[in-house]
Structure 1
Amino acid sequence: MMMGIISIQTVMDLIVAGFSLMIGFGFFALIASVLCSVAFLHHLRASPSEPSILTSRRR
C-alpha cells in the first residue's frame, strides 16, 4: 500500500516539474524571439539601401 502512495506522489511531482519546464522554456523562447527580431531589424536598417552594391557586376 505504501508503494502506491509513493508512486502517485512521484507521478504528481513529475507532472508539476513538466509544467514548470514548459512555462520556463516558453518564457525563454519568447524572450529569445523578441531579441532576435530586434537584432534582425537593427541590422536590416544598417544594411545599404542601394541594390547595386549587393549584386555582382560580373555576368
Structure 2
Amino acid sequence: MIVSKTPLRMSFVGGGSDLPAFYREELGAVLSTSIDKYMYICVNKKFDAGIRINYSKTEEVDFP
C-alpha cells in the first residue's frame, strides 16, 4: 500500500504544452504553483492483478 499526502496545484497557463502533439511543433512553458491545501491518495494492489486508487472517489483499473 502506498499512502501519499499531496499538495494541490494550480496551473495558470501552458497546461497542454507538455503534450507531444504540442511540444514537437512549438516551444512549451508552464506556470503553476502549489497551495496550502492537501489531499490523501492511497494506492493498493488487488488480488486479481488490478490496482485500487482511493481519494475522494475509489477507482479500480486493470494492470497489465
Q: TM (normalized to structure 2)?
A: 0.17
More helix by share: 1
| Superposition TM-score, scaled by structure 1 size | 0.18
Structure number, greater radius of gyration:
1
Larger RCO, structure (CA 8 Å, separation 6 or more)? 2
The structure with the largest strand share of the pair is 2
